[in-house]
Amino acid sequence: MSAIPTTDGMQAETIAALLDGKLRKDLGLEPEDLKIGLTVARNLLNRGHQGEAMRLYAVLVLCQPTEVDFQVGLANCASAMGEHYIALQAASAVIALAPSDPRGYLLSGRSCFHTGSFAEAEQDLGDALGLAEQTGHDVVRREADMLLGRIAAARAAL
């Protein structure tokens, strides 16, 4: 029995091949080649070209779905575009791929916050905060703290 479930008639072997970077390999690309695309996508997002950045992040994720930085980029870009459910899906992938990386929990918590799922946001942001403190990830710690403060303020106002 395969550990990879089938989806909509897709065979487990097909899913496993995609997760292993089949598209990237079919295109003749190496993982290092895709890192250039990550830099380009970040630059596009930083310059306000969100749609172009989103398309590039999506291609990167399709080429190498198990690359955490590509999923983080997709989640951040989707969040910047207000596409919080897409961001949540990418954040879930980050958590599954790297459960000790605080970025996945921050991204999930941020997405839950923006979709009004405050209990889930608190849980994920608390996890992000704890992991960020353990790993010294100050950027994650600061944003998680800020979002938890906003949730607390909203609850106090009720």
Q: Are 54 and 77 in contact (CB under 8 A)?
A: yes
Domain parsing of the chain, residue ranges: 10-83, 99-158
Global pTM? 0.84
Tens digits of pLDDT across the chain (158 residues):
344 455 555 677 766 766 666 766 677 677 788 899 999 999 999 999 999 999 999 999 998 999 999 999 999 999 999 999 999 999 999 999 999 999 999 999 999 999 999 999 999 999 999 999 999 999 999 999 999 999 999 889 88
